[in-house]
A and B are shown apart, each in its own frame.
Chain A
Amino acid sequence: MWREALDKNMKILVVDDFSTMRRIVRNLLVELGFSNPLIQEADDGENAIAMLRAQPFDLVVTDWNMPNMTGIDLLKAIRAEASLKGLPVLMVTAENNRDQIIAAAQAGVNGYIVKPFTAVTLKEKLTKIFERIAAGGVAA
């Protein structure tokens, strides 16, 4: 039987230097049924990694282009840290740029989404990410 792939009680970290954008993403997540109090925000990669180390999260939604530490560097830092490396990361980009996305995939991104997007698109992307996680496990 099909079951809802998305756990609505996930703790999500939204990373973007533009607070309007964090608010947009948060609101779309809430619209999808995620719990508002469980969504936290960071304004750049450095702060994000500090928060990720301090408390457990189930998902990171990060912008690509940020000062101090970019989204891709944040992704690499997550994958490089034993306690965080399995954390699903959805990358928000402004451009659908093939080379960038391939680079992100190689760095270990779980999904990407191009701005602007709707709640429906966001749901599709998240569903794909967690389907893969549920189905996959780890290759030998």
Chain B
Amino acid sequence: MDTEFDLELRQDFLVEAGELLQRLGEQLVALETSPRDSELLNAVFRAFHTVKGGAGFLALEPMVVLCHHAEDLLNEARNGKLALDAAHMDGLLQALDLLNDMMAAVSDGSAMAMPPPALLQALTPHAAAPAPVAAPQPAAASAEAGAIDDNEFEALLDTLYGTAAPGTVAPAPLPAAPPAGIDDDEFEALLDSLHGKPGQPAAPSPSPAPATTAPSTNAAPARPAAAADHSVRVDTARLDLLVNHAGELVLLRNRLLSLAARLGDESLATAAGELDRVTDALQGAAMSMRMQPVGRLFQRFPRIVRDLARQLGKEVELVLEGEGTDLDRSLVEALADPLIHLLRNALDHGVEMPDERERNGKPRKGRIVLSASQRGERIVIAVSDDGHGMDPDILRRKAVEKGLLDSAQAARLSEAECYELIFRPGFSTAAAVSDISGRGVGMDVVKTRVAELGGTLRVQSRLGHGSELELTVPLTLAVLRVLMVRVADRLLALPLGNVQEVFELADGQDRELDGRLVAEHRGRALPLTDLARWVGTAAGAGRHVVVLHIGHQRLGCLVHEVRGREDVIVKPLGPLFADASGIAGATVTGDGRLALVIDLAGLVAAADTCSASLQKEV
């Protein structure tokens, strides 16, 4: 095999075996609850088996050894000789983890070590007995118990078929069980005895074996020959390229449409209208290719929840709903971390210990539902638990203790506002930071991350009954719905999902507070950021305010003009502008002008410096 082929093969293996392993995680967790499900056992067995086969060709010996042990264990279970217990499941899940590590090693070309003996021991069906030290196998395969070599096989064929080819004659009955070990000669002999000796004329008349008389009675109904070929695997980079080109076309279409409107030429308008339709269809098709079922994201969670529950001594069932909901590929990845955090939170802070649940008249086993659904142009993902819910009073007290609010402010908060407190930085409802939820990441980071994706995060809770966190994100990241604003002579695009409202500053409504420019708005002080200063134009601040909701923060942006809503395709700025913080990319507007798309997280960071510099000059 040449190296180029090796590389391609490696890549194929990584993708395909990677998918198998990902499914395997889910299957193993399911297997733990129904260890006698033979279909599941077969599927799990086959996954290890298939990975082993591929790894063998790539000479990934540690992987082969590990899969082989897992396979042996599962085979015993499959044959009913062994009931899988928790220790076996732990072993299998560890094996899966290690396999994933090994895959990573394959991917970056680093060396992989042989699996630790303790793990192999855990996968040994009779774990009590010391595992035999793997002695090097003698060169002759026939020495291996239960193996067969080429000569034995040939002898076997001779015995069965004489020297005829199998399939041309019915097999002769086999003599008494041959000794363990068979070689090619033996196989040939077996074939000979089954099919007759060579040299005899090849008569077309078959001596029908019982099975041959009834052709295809047990065979599957004929399907179109190409049934297996309805899908092709495409590199995601090529898909992105297609989406990118489709996006360019949309921009061009927008320009042409506004040109046609301006010129008032009817035939141009008709052609532009046609182009409009085709472009929409093309863009829709390109977008749909980027869609993936959210189940791809969900399937890794049962394992995580299972491990966590064990670690915490809790009993939890994770229910997945709406796994078929389609989501943009880039969102699938981007949502992984926020969702893991929400699940951890539900497990750690939501679901009670089994004894406590029992005392409260609940089933010992808690229930976490992870669901996805599409609502119009948005995807809603909810994590709900049937735990003890949140107590608004405790939240109020905590907020005061942490110095986030004074007691008067806390007392004024509505219940819903109390729940929102968990998204404040530095707020954690756990008395002590546990190593489960409190990995230095708070709910505030989750909320900010979701906001960066153009999404929102909401919380609901009922004391004693559980909590629900609802995450809403746009269907796709490729098309962004923005509010187009003008600052001096520049166009800026603000993600519409984060725009709360727009108002015009009245005289005397804005003032300075602690060195920051704020506006008195709806009875509260709204911090203001002068976008003219931020983009560096000499023009004074505008008097129009766009109120943005970013994570837990509210921010008013001063602009000169609010132009309206627009759907735009965001183009990255390229490596030259990699350091331009606060700018997510650029886009071309309908009239062919360039607009910068604002990155809200970067804007928040910049907001403080803008206000600070304001004070110096005033």
Contact = CB atoms under 8 A, between A and B. Distances in A.
A49 B162 CA distance: 27
B164 A17 contact: no
Interface string B154-186: 101100111111111101001000101110100
Contacts of A82: 212, 215
Contacts of B202: 136-138
Interface residues of B, number: 80
Contacts of A8: none
B222 A109 contact: no
Interface stretch (B51-59, B97-105, B239-247): B51-59
A54 B212 CA distance: 19
Nearest to B17: A20
Interface string B138-156: 0001001011111001101
Nearest to A117: B57
Contact of A136 (B53, B164, B182, B228): B164
A106 B171 contact: yes
Interface string B190-209: 11001111111111111101
| Residue of B13, B43, B217 with most chain A CB atoms under a 10 A cut-off | B13
A82 to B, nearest CB: 5
Contacts of B207: 138-140
Interface string A41-69: 11111110111011100000001011111
Given A24-B9, A79-B209, A105-B160, A50 B154 contact: no
A86 B212 contact: no
B165 A129 contact: yes
Contacts, number: 230
Interface string B44-85: 001001101110110100000000000000000000000000
A135 interface: yes
Contact of A65 (B46, B197, B219): B46
Cβ-closest 8 pairs across A and B? A139-B196, A137-B202, A135-B198, A116-B56, A136-B164, A54-B225, A96-B147, A108-B166
Interface of A: 17-21, 23-24, 27, 31, 41-47, 49-51, 53-55, 63, 65-69, 76-83, 85-89, 94, 96-99, 101-102, 105-106, 108-112, 115-116, 124-125, 128-129, 132-133, 135-140
Given A85-B168, A135-B163, 7 more contacts: A21-B50, A21-B54, A77-B218, A98-B148, A105-B194, A136-B165, A138-B196
